[in-house]
Amino acid sequence: MATDGSLMGSGAMGAASSALQRLNQAVQEAVPAAAAPSPGPALGAGGKTIEDMVREMLRPMLQQWMDTNLPPMVERLVEREIVRLTRR
């Protein structure tokens, strides 16, 4: 589990990064990033939104899930996409 505030640990980050680099090499196309939606109305004097509060509460659970499940999921999907692209 990461202690620097990021959602992924270094192992998960490395595996995901490596798999995505391979996908990028296979596709060699840039995809524009989607615009982020509005976070919603601010609550109270602190200016926190409901989204901010939920994010803080779910962060540890989400981080653990991502560290466990993201690397094999990304690897499987990248391999599938590379196979699909190379069969064209």
Q: Are 7 and 73 in contact (CB under 8 A)?
A: no
- Domain extents in the chain: 49-88
pTM recorded for the entire structure: 0.40
- The answer, yes or no, to whether residue 45 has pLDDT greater than 60, is yes
Identity of the highest mean pLDDT range in 33-37, 44-48, 69-73:
69-73
Specify the pLDDT at position 35.
Answer: 61
Specify the pLDDT at position 72.
Answer: 92
Helix H, strand E, coil C: the string for the chain is: CCCCCCCCCHHHHHHHHHHHHHHHHHHCCCCCCCCCCCCCCEECCCCEEHHHHHHHHHHHHHHHHHHHHHHHHHHHHHHHHHHHHHCC
Which of residues 41 and 11 earns the better pLDDT score?
11
